[in-house]
């Protein structure tokens, strides 16, 4: 049980430089691509359906997790307050990410205000939140290049060392996938926009198909 380590791979890949590589055939790659695409579409549509269904029956404020503290929370007896610190809703996050991707820099004071107002449509938020978010976002996206694994594995690994002991991190991915203006999330949107009214049953069947494919990878 030994693993083939290809040292020269680091040069080929460049600064990313991982010594371990996985190999996929075009076939597998295509399959993957299909599957992800299917899932992405399904998820988006399901979300829309869910929204549509829930919107008609619930009142705006209910969405906040205030209701859940009824049974389970009551007995334990700690505070009912939600979170102390702000947490962006998915929708807010999406908008923020978009702005960040195109914004190219630190949003001005005025920008912040606008953004805050816009995001206010989707949940409680303050300018400080937005400000902090951009601060952190920028700082952390910058720290991505700092960890190109030092896989100079010596033969010292005598035990049943398995290469799976790897770190995976979003920052690393961003290196290979600098989604700037080009690889925007618009693709996904477009996808489900183009297929307007899929029946629920159709979605279900697609899920089955997708699940079938994915079983290989899971």
Partner DNA sequence: CACCTATGAATGAATG
Partner DNA sequence: CATTCATTCATAGGTG
Stretch 138-157 residues interacting with a second copy (CB under 8 A): 146-147, 149-154, 156-157
Site for DNA in 25-84 (CB under 7 A): 80-84
CA 51 to mean position of chain CA atoms: 20
- Give the separation between CA 207 and CA 195, rounded to whole angstroms: 16
Site for a second copy in 19-78 (CB under 8 A): 20-37, 39-40, 42-44, 46-47, 49-50, 53-54, 57-58, 62-63, 65, 67-69, 72-73, 76-78
Q: Would you count residue 160 as binding DNA (CB under 7 A)? A: no
Tokens of residue 131, six digits: 């400000």
- Give the separation between CA 172 and CA 206, rounded to whole angstroms: 31
Site for DNA in 163-192 (CB under 7 A): 163-164, 166-170, 176-178, 180, 182-187
Where do contacts with DNA occur on this chain (CB under 7 A)? 80-88, 93, 105-106, 108-109, 128-129, 132-133, 135-140, 142-143, 163-164, 166-170, 176-178, 180, 182-187, 202
């Amino acid at each position: 049980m030994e693993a083939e380590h290809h040292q020269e791979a680091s040069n080929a890949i460049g600064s990313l430089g991982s010594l371990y590589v996985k190999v996929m055939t075009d076939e597998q790659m295509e399959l993957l691509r299909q599957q992800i695409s299917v899932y992405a579409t399904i998820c988006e549509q399901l979300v829309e359906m869910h929204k549509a269904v829930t919107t008609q029956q619930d009142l705006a404020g209910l969405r906040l997790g205030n209701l859940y503290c009824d049974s389970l929370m009551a007995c334990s007896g700690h505070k009912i307050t939600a979170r102390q610190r702000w947490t962006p809703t998915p929708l807010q996050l999406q908008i923020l990410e978009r702005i960040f991707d195109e914004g190219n820099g630190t949003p001005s004071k005025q920008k912040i205000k606008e953004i805050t107002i816009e995001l206010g449509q989707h949940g409680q938020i303050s300018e400080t939140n937005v400000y902090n978010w951009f601060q952190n976002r920028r700082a952390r996206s910058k720290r991505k290049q700092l960890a190109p694994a030092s896989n100079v594995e010596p033969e010292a690994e005598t035990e049943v060392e398995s290469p799976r002991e790897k770190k995976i991190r979003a920052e690393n991915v961003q290196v290979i996938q600098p989604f700037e203006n080009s690889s925007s999330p618009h693709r996904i949107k477009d996808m489900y926009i183009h297929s307007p009214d899929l029946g629920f049953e159709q979605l279900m069947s697609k899920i089955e198909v997708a699940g079938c494919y994915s079983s290989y990878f899971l």
